Structure 1
Amino acid sequence: MRYGQSHLEHVYHSQLKNRCQKNNESLQEFEADIAWLVRLAYSSTVGNLATLLNGMERLAVQAFLDGLRDTETR
């Protein structure tokens, strides 16, 4: 609460960057968590909605691919 929402966005951004698929975690569960972290990490981004959503989707896809455990699936 002391540092406000911008501090939390940095925390969520770090969690997103370091998020990897857990053992026994399905692709659907992993994708849902990535999507949730992207929304939290970039919640205060202002601008054209279509551009913002496109950028967030690209970030989510890249984080998902980076965090996959199975290199063949990646």
Structure 2
Amino acid sequence: LMVLIKKDKHAFIYDFGPSYFNRFSRVPSVLLPYIDAHNLTVSTAIVSHQDNDHAGGVAHFKAAGYARSFDYFHPNGVY
């Protein structure tokens, strides 16, 4: 599961889909290009729980520079 909700150039991300072999996820191939193409600002990101099918792409999202988007709902960090 990976959900992006956008309004007025702001994006809310809920879950990040699975990671395959701890190397591949849909974050770099789908989510990040969409954010860039639509010039969105990611204001908030939430991970519902730590299972791979929901949190697998978090590492790719954080590596892309979006680690601070977790701060509001995950003040102690996602991992």
Same fold? TM cut 0.5: no
Greater Cα radius of gyration, structure 1 or 2: 1
Higher-strand-fraction structure: 2
Higher-helix-fraction structure: 1
**TM-score normalised over the length of structure 2:** 0.29
**TM-score normalised over the length of structure 1:** 0.31
